[in-house]
């Protein structure tokens, strides 16, 4: 590395960092939290539309080029970018989602869930950590390039997406668009205490349908009872968990695979009434299956098929099949040698003056889809306590928020200049 280049890039970094105003990042986070963006399918007004309008207006005012991607009615992705990807250059995405989960019972909160109150160095509110704080930090980091007139050597994309908390429609749409397809890497700004997370657990919600034959409870021999077969599936769940633990990789940053029954219904909702003297024709069971890296969709599918066949063998006449609710979301892992990881590790040292801390993501994120569909290297890193999302009294630490904005700016500069 030649000294003049180092000093010029250091100068650029200092210029960009100088344009990140801490108070403004706080106010931007609070403004986003104050716009409730809980998606409620039965209420056409309850979507991400309002917060999307806010983000779009903000990005246009800062001078970003903006693309509004209609994903579903009232649910647009807002994509802003600066710079362009010339041959040999890269495109980096700073990713955040605009939807938040329900506030639940507001009486459980010490602060109004959408009040964005500032107290003891924290911003309280639904979405403060998951993940309007991360989104605000990313917006501020990208805008700082424009404000400092530092043109990145490549394309820096800010993606504010819809529907992460439900079906991930926003990111599924993004990967089909031009701006999505030309990406080279992504930083997922989810709350991970600003650790650099290279591994993430995957999830499959496997819904089993067990078909038997309806009969009178007094004459069970006349029917085929799906509930007994459901029992067999439940009994086999711990053995499946053990097999997955043996097959999947161990990671010091991730909990091992788990197989957790979450729904049992017989008869399922909408298929006849539950009655004490009736053997239902149909039963359903959902297993929440979490995996670490090391298992593919077909291998996992084969394990679940085997579970069905074993229960069928034990209960003659019963037919069992299963389907993934909302598709497979496999575990992901990115190597430390990836340029985006190297860039972020250097950026943490440069902007925070400490060594990077490494971590793992307990659940799946929009990054899962970017990794699975586009093969992008992803690093999940953002402000907020990893355990606080979806709880009452959700908050984000102001100090972490500002650190995140600096990490994003430093990482983008480093990654794109290479
Ligand atoms: Zn999130």
DSSP state of 217: T
For residue 255 the two structure tokens come to: 């909990």
pLDDT number for residue 107: 95
Q: Which of 360, 365, 344 is closest to 92 using CA atoms? A: 344
When pLDDT is averaged across residues 362-370 and rounded to a whole number, the result is: 96
Percent of the chain with pLDDT strictly greater than 90: 95
| Residue 7 binned pLDDT confidence (cut-offs 50, 70, 90) | low
CA of 250 to the centre of ligand 1 (A): 24
CA of 191 to the centre of ligand 1 (A): 7
CA of 237 to the centre of ligand 1 (A): 28
CA of 163 to the centre of ligand 1 (A): 10
Q: Where are the beta strands (DSSP E) in 11-138?
A: 65-72, 75-82, 90-97, 117-119, 122-124
Report whether pLDDT(4) > 70: no
For residue 402 the two structure tokens come to: 């500002």
| Residue bearing tokens 């970017």 | 370
Burial 54-90 (b: 16+ CB within 10 A, else e): bbbebbeebebebbebebeebbbbbbbbbbebeeebb
Task: Specify the pTM.
Answer: 0.92
d(CA 99, CA 366): 12
Question: 357 and 195 in contact (C-beta within 8 Å)?
Answer: yes
CA of 325 to the centre of ligand 1 (A): 19
| Residue bearing tokens 């609070």 | 30
| Residue bearing tokens 């986003």 | 32
CA of 389 to the centre of ligand 1 (A): 7
Tens digits of per-residue pLDDT, 402-413? 999 999 999 999
Tens digits of per-residue pLDDT, 195-252? 999 999 999 999 999 999 999 999 999 999 999 999 999 999 999 999 999 999 999 9
| Residue 5 binned pLDDT confidence (cut-offs 50, 70, 90) | very low
Domains of the chain (ranges plus CATH)? 3-200+331-417 (3.40.630.10), 202-329 (3.30.70.360)
């Amino acid at each position: 590395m030649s000294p003049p280049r180092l000093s010029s890039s250091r100068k650029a970094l200092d210029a960009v960092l100088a344009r990140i105003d801490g108070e403004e990042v706080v106010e931007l986070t609070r403004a986003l939290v104050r716009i409730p963006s809980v998606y409620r399918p039965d209420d056409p007004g309850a979507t991400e539309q309002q917060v999307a309008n806010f983000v779009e207006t903000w990005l246009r005012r800062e001078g970003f080029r903006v693309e509004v991607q209609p994903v579903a009615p009232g649910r647009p992705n807002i994509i802003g970018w600066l710079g362009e990807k010339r041959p040999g250059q890269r495109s980096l995405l700073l990713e955040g989602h605009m939807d938040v989960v329900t506030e639940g019972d507001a009486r459980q909160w010490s602060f109004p869930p959408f009040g964005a109150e500032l107290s003891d160095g924290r911003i309280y509110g639904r979405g403060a950590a998951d993940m309007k704080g991360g989104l605000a930090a990313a917006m501020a980091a990208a805008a700082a390039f424009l404000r400092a007139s530092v043109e990145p050597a490549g394309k820096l994309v800010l993606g504010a997406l819809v529907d992460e908390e439900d079906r991930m429609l926003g990111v599924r749409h993004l990967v089909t668009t031009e701006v999505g397809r030309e990406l080279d890497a992504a930083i997922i700004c989810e709350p991970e205490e600003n650790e650099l997370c290279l591994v993430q657990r995957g999830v499959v919600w496997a819904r089993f349908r067990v078909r038997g034959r309806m009969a009178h409870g007094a004459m069970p021999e006349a029917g085929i009872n799906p509930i007994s077969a459901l029992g067999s599936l439940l009994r086999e769940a711990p053995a499946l968990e053990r097999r997955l633990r043996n097959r999947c990789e161990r990671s010091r940053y991730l909990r091992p695979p788990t197989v957790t029954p979450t729904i049992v219904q017989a008869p399922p909702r909408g298929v006849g009434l539950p009655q004490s003297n009736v053997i239902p024709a149909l039963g359903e069971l959902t297993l929440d299956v979490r995996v670490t890296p090391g298992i593919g969709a077909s291998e996992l599918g084969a394990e679940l098929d085997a579970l069905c066949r074993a229960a069928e063998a034990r209960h003659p006449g019963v037919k069992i099949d299963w389907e993934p609710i909302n598709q497979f979301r496999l575990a992901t892992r990115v190597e430390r040698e990836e340029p985006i990881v190297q860039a972020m590790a250097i950026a943490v040292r440069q902007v925070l003056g400490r060594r990077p801390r490494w971590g793992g993501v307990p659940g799946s994120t929009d990054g899962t889809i970017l990794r699975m569909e586009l093969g992008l290297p992803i690093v999940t890193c953002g402000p907020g306590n990893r355990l606080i999302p979806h709880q009452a009294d959700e908050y984000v630490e102001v100090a972490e928020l500002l650190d995140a904005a600096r990490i994003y700016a430093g990482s983008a500069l480093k990654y794109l200049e290479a």
